[in-house]
Structure 1
């Protein structure tokens, strides 16, 4: 497979990248170089070419037309109309000329199978190439204009924003597949766009080569450099590593530190904010942000307590984490929005507890690793309190420090590359789909039903191909992207459809065998009587329930945590009924409570799919393990309750017809299917 990556922004080269050299020489370059290295390592016969701009004035490296990186990977530099380096706000002026020259380059040599566009300007180029040559393209946004626009709220430089957002709308409408780094990006950020289509987005968290951070030790050079700034260099420290641009929000961190006397007494503040010789010569907004940072340091008289070194190279970064770890410090990412957060993974691997923005990828990282605290990046006091709480509590610091070990296993480039190349191969060679008219339908819950047991997962993977004529789908409380992430992580067979968010959304596998299409007819049906604002207001003061995180709220689902005592599902139903609000209430695992449009559940969604496939109810088998599966299990005669069930399902009168398996998880599903096939006189293959 030949993948052509297009990335126009920043000073991109194969090694020794000077991050922070310009405002646009940032994490997307690191992501791209690590991605192609991991993909090349996984498949040595594949070819990856990175096409970027050729420009003068920033050094000889950026005038080389071809730069070999490693076997199977090279960078090519394509000229555009303007030979000078340009900031991202002006790149749109070069799209047409760059695309023409790229097309000429492709036509003169090998034709790529897929183009991967990085940032919206590259997507514009890819769209032109697709129109002319028919090559499909994949899009990674890295950051989104509408998100930045909302973050700055008219207070920052909006130059080029209209063109950028238009380019992102184009990318969303024309890309064959969109790759997001986090659920927040896939479900919240992309949802701001008119062309938003959840089924064409996949969440693939970037990996990170973390061994250098896990084993790093403080260097004498870094110790000496920071000692120049600090009166008491041995105190714990708050560490931040980010370019000095507005969205990284370093000024809020200085405010947080300056306004919290207890924090200043306990810790120093270290700001590793790019590389500079003279602030006045910094590119773009970096100069004004650095000036703002220095003004705040002066306002709060933080001299001797704050370090802000002028230079560092990539090899120094592990040493900064090690310096902070040795002093029982914390790493803080206060960005207004962080699409993913590679520095958070690095800090995690270095055993540093995290304080991170609640906007973007840090939600996923801290949920996965359990090694930090999420904060509102617009509230400096919130940031300061969180940092102080961790630094002042030795037991908490130790617990969060140890939890960071999970980062290396969870965010691995090898795993990312396997999923990535699998998706691209699917676009290049669409898989043969099941017949359009299956004669059987199997619908399974995911958590603790399909997954949760490695042996069961392997058995299901082996068993599924033997079930000819069987349409396989899942029904879950998870969102679409959360469900796809766990299914792909476990390498489960790709479902023909997904019923997600407790039945409130349905997605069908596209003809390409990779992406999914939202069921608009079901969406219109569930929206008819849904009044989420009224329901939320009605439940705002109910004792014993609290809303789950914003990321867990869906267009047709409100999600709460319940204490399981004072706020039962019945009590919530009564409260809604008294307010004249039509809604379904589903309680599961003793602590999750979901409020849905009236009549919406996994059961009603399964019946909708059954009717769509024109199958009789006798052709349907469903499997589940908990309270949010009750409606699905109740409504289908052939129901399987797996042995590891919760919520006392077998003793519910409405589920007496169900088959309770002896085996757990996916092996229990296979056992149950075999049971019903035997009753019907159908030869079947049991779990091996």
Structure 2
């Protein structure tokens, strides 16, 4: 008997727990990015499959209603956990026990069929609730503390207990959904065996991100290079700026960060501008600041090459969005980009923190229009075949059904991190 036989044709009641990343949030802030989009799109795609989805996220402002309908089949519930104000996600850990207690109270009378937590703190809160109610729990990390600590070292602001808590969540949940193969290797190194993990990548809206549609206006330069995302050191914009002297005739458009009116106050933007001045390319580097979501696809279509030169990337949605728009990508060979970018089919992969390698890869594509066109065509086909939200939702549903079919499953209760008062 299959799991689908067990539930018949009835819709599942699915709880998505995303403690800091609300699907209602405006994107572009320090803690608002890919996870917000992922949760919103996954919820919508699961609803399209006939399921009822509720997203639980922390109340981060006064006056927010308890429940906000996002669309047919998807509700967002604001959980009171800590003060109703914006708090950096790295400071939210002390409030996760309260978050979990609220979930347990609500689910006591309205239990979901399956709980899917997103990010490690959501996993801790969810573990607290499901251990009391014996509900199945699936978890997606989105980013791992081991990777962040390795790359950011003393600049890592994560709580000291993060890695131990992540392991606790991985052992305590029924199933882990990793977004790429590199994450499976990281989990294995943490002691979480690969047989507890399914790989389901992030998705992309192939109707919004398409080669067909308006392109943003270009300037006077012969070629446009585009980098889009948070303007923080780990995203590697300094590598792109440093490569620019080797790419005559190309402009670099850096999209993201604070609103345009606050760019002058941003320390990373000031650092990058100083770097560009020192290299003599300031006239070819432009910062737009944050842009509206509907402007992203036209910007991607306007570029000759999209750059994704991050030091590390737990998954990286920008390469997929660029490929969906038919634009070739030059990305660092890290994290999820090892899965998404096919070299040489859809773009090029280069070592991180290597502006010479980045410049060589970009120069080769700029000098060969036929290669750029071929990469763009192949990129679109790759996204359609692997990364559309319909496919991602079906794969996620299959994980849920597999967990339900295998119940009751052994689950470890939250242990040391809760018991010692670390949280």
For the aligned pair, the TM-score class normalised by the smaller chain equals 0.7 to 0.9
Question: How far apart are the structure 1 equivalents of 2:47 and 2:375?
Answer: 34
User: 1:242 & 1:135 partners in 2: Cα distance?
Assistant: 36
Name the CA distance, whole Å, in 1 between partners of 2:30 and 2:126. 24
Give the equivalent residue in structure 1 for 2:114.
Answer: 114
Post-superposition CA distance 1:240-270 (Å, at most 9, x none): 111112332222222222xxx340x131111
Task: Verify: 1:18 aligned to 2:26, yes or no.
Answer: yes
Instruction: Tell me if structure 2 keeps the 8 A contact 1:242–1:273.
Output: yes
1:400 maps onto 2:408 in alignment: no
SS at match of 1:85: coil
8 Å contact from structure 2 (residues 104, 129) kept in 1: yes
Q: Would you say 1:427 and 2:403 are equivalent positions?
A: yes
Following TM superposition, by how much is the alpha carbon of 1:330 offset from its aligned partner in structure 2, in angstroms? 0.5
Q: Do 2:198 and 2:399's aligned partners in 1 also have CA atoms closer than 8 Å?
A: no
- Residue in 2 aligned with 1:278? 262
Helix, strand or coil: the match of 1:160?
coil
Q: 1:247 to 1:275 in 2, by over 3 A?
A: same
Query: What residue in structure 1 maps to residue 224 of structure 2?
Result: 237
Which of 152, 163, 166 is equivalent to 2:164?
A: 166
Shift of 1:9: 1.5
Which residue is equivalent to 2:394? Answer: 418
Which residue is equivalent to 2:78? Answer: 77
- Three-state SS of the structure 1 residue aligned to 2:283 is coil
* Cα shift at 1:366: 2.3
Structure 1 distance, partners of 2:156, 2:16, is 27
Q: Trace 1:592-607 onto structure 2 (pairs within 5 A).
A: none
> In the TM superposition, what is the alpha-carbon distance from 1:105 to its structure 2 partner?
2.1
- 2:131 maps to 131
Contact 2:342/2:348, CA 8 A, preserved across alignment: no
Q: Which residue of 2 aligns with 1:315?
A: 294
- The Cα of 1:370 is off from its aligned counterpart by 2.0
Q: CA deviation at 1:101?
A: 1.9
- Tell me the residue number matched to 2:234: 247
Shift, 1:368, TM fit: 8.8
Q: Which has the higher contact order (CA 8 A, sep 6+)?
A: 2
Aligned to 1:31: 38
SS of 1:270's equivalent in the other structure is strand
Q: Distance in 2 between matches of 1:395 and 1:87?
A: 46
Secondary structure at 1:363 match in 2: helix
Q: Which residue does the alignment assign to 2:332?
A: 357
Q: For residue 360 of structure 1, report the CA deviation from its aligned partner.
A: 1.1
1:93 deviates by 1.5
Secondary structure, counterpart of 2:357 in structure 1? helix
Tell me, in whole angstroms, the C-alpha distance in 2 between the residues paired with 1:382 and 1:246.
Answer: 19
Aligned counterparts, 1:369-408, within 5 A: 370-406=345-381, 407-408=383-384
How much does 1:72 deviate?
1.6
Q: 1:359 to 1:161 in 2, by over 3 A?
A: farther
Structure 1 counterpart of 2:174, from 155, 173, 176: 176
Deviation, 1:338, is 1.7
| Cα separation, partners in 2 of 1:133 and 1:280, compared to 1, 3 Å | farther
User: What are the superposed Cα offsets for residues 143-165 of structure 1, whole Å, 9 maximum, x if unpaired?
Assistant: 111101112244xx222342222
Q: Which of 269, 276, 284 is equivalent to 1:297?
A: 276
CA distance in 2, matches of 1:217, 1:420: 30
**TM-score using structure 2 length:** 0.88
Measure the CA separation in 1 of the matches of 2:238 and 2:61. Answer: 33
Displacement of 1:29 in angstroms is: 0.8
The answer on whether the counterparts of 1:353 and 1:401 sit within 8 Å (CA) in structure 2 is yes
Per-residue Cα deviation, 1:395-418 (whole angstroms, up to 9, x for no partner): 322322221122222212112212
Q: 1:126 to 1:278 in 2, by over 3 A?
A: same
Paired with 1:262 and 1:84, the residues of 2 have a C-alpha distance of 46
Q: CA deviation at 1:55?
A: 1.9
Query: What stretches of structure 2 of length at least 5 have no aligned partner?
Result: 1-11, 411-423
The DSSP-based 3-state class of the residue aligned with 1:405 is helix
- Matched-pair contact (CA < 8 Å) for 1:368–1:410: no
Q: Which residue does 1:209 correspond to in 2?
A: 205
Structure 2 CA distance for aligned equivalents of residues 279 and 367 of structure 1: 34
Contact 2:145–2:158, Cα closer than 8 Å, also in 1: no
Q: In the alignment, is the contact (CA less than 8 A) between 1:207 and 1:416 conserved in 2?
A: yes
Counterpart CA distance in 2 for 1:336 and 1:118 is 23
Per-residue deviation, residues 548-583 of structure 1 (Å, max 9, x unmatched): xxxxxxxxxxxxxxxxxxxxxxxxxxxxxxxxxxxx
Choose 22-31 or 242-251, whichever is displaced more.
242-251
Q: Residues 243 and 359 of structure 2 are in contact (CA less than 8 Å); yes or no, is this contact kept in structure 1?
A: yes
Rounded to whole Å, the distance in 1 between the matches of 2:125 and 2:162 is 13
The Cα shift of 1:82 comes to: 2.3
Paired with 2:137 and 2:268, the residues of 1 have a C-alpha distance of 36
Aligned partners of 2:152, 2:140: CA distance in 1, in Å?
22
Q: Contact between 2:223 and 2:366, CA under 8 Å: does it hold in 1?
A: yes
Q: Is contact 2:104–2:130 with CA below 8 Å preserved after alignment?
A: no
User: Which deviations, in whole Å up to 9, do the C-alpha atoms of 1:261-297 show, x marking residues without a partner?
Assistant: 340x13111110234232477xxxxx43233222222
Per-residue deviation at 1:305? 0.7
Are 1:146 and 1:192, in contact at CA under 8 Å, matched by a contact in 2? no
Alignment RMSD, CA only? Answer: 2.2
Change (3 A) 1:291 1:8: farther
- Residue 148 of structure 1 contacts residue 247 of structure 1 at CA under 8 Å; is this kept in 2? no
Match of 1:48 in 2: 53
Q: C-alpha separation between the residues in 2 aligned to 1:203 and 1:169?
A: 18
Residues in 1 aligned to 2:20 and 2:43: alpha-carbon distance in whole angstroms: 17
**Aligned residue pairs, count:** 397
Query: Contact 1:208–1:408 (CA<8 Å) still a contact in 2?
Result: no
Aligned to 1:197: 193
Q: Is the contact between residue 2 and residue 112 of structure 1 (CA under 8 Å) also seen in structure 2?
A: yes
Does structure 1 retain, via aligned residues, the 8 Å contact 2:138–2:173?
yes
Runs of 4+ in 1 over 4 A off after TM superposition: none
Say if 2:23 is the partner of 1:6: no
8 Å contact 1:92–1:163 — kept in the other structure? no
The answer for the alignment partner of 2:92 in structure 1 is 91
TM-score (norm: length of structure 1)? 0.55
TM superposition shift of 1:369 = 8.6
Alpha-carbon distance in structure 2 between the residues aligned to 1:87 and 1:299: 34
The offset of 1:204, in angstroms, is: 0.8
After the TM superposition, which residues 461-500 of structure 1 pair with which residues of structure 2 at under 5 Å, given as runs?
none
